[in-house]
Amino acid sequence: MRRQPARAAGVGLLTAGLCGCASASVATWSLTEAPEPSDTTLSLLVSETACASGQSPEGRIEEPEVDYQREAVVITVRVRAAGMSGHCEGHPGAPYVLELAEPLGTRALLDGGREPAVAVSPPP
């Protein structure tokens, strides 16, 4: 089992520590497109679980941790706090493009932001 930070491309990339925000909390994610076995790029929609006063997590998503296992790829996403005491109203997700270090193959995708990790299905 290998764990490594993933590389992000385009949308949502910010280096941790650029803002003076509080620590990050675990987020959940879903797929916005069905991946092929040869894909090394995943299109995600990241949903913050912490209270954020209705703000999207865009611009506060940290580099995900990706655990490459034989049967699955477990992706854990964290979002830096909005820097304020947030109200717990609903808030939109944020698009995020994730670059994998190797093709997905036939492995399942698991959301490591849930305990235990949950299989993520492609959108209909």
The reply to whether 10 falls in a domain is: yes
The reply to whether 94 falls in a domain is: yes
Positive or negative, the Cα torsion across 108, 109, 112, 114?
A: negative
- pLDDT tens, position by position, 42-86: 999 999 876 666 677 788 899 999 999 999 999 999 998 876 666
Band of the pLDDT at 25, cuts 50, 70, 90?
A: confident
Per-residue model confidence (pLDDT) at position 105:
97
| CA atoms within 13 Å, Cβ hemisphere of 32 | 13
The reply to whether 99 falls in a domain is: yes
Per-residue model confidence (pLDDT) at position 14:
34
Number of domains in the chain: 1
SS3 state at 38: coil
Residue 3: C-alpha distances to residues 6, 44, 64, 93 (Å): 9, 19, 10, 25
The reply to whether 42 falls in a domain is: yes
Residue 84 is given by DSSP the state S
The reply to whether 124 falls in a domain is: no
Could you list the residue range(s) of the whole structural domain that residue 90 is in?
A: 2-119
The reply to whether 67 falls in a domain is: yes
Per-residue model confidence (pLDDT) at position 72:
98
- pLDDT tens, position by position, 101-124: 999 999 999 999 999 999 999 988
Per-residue model confidence (pLDDT) at position 50:
67
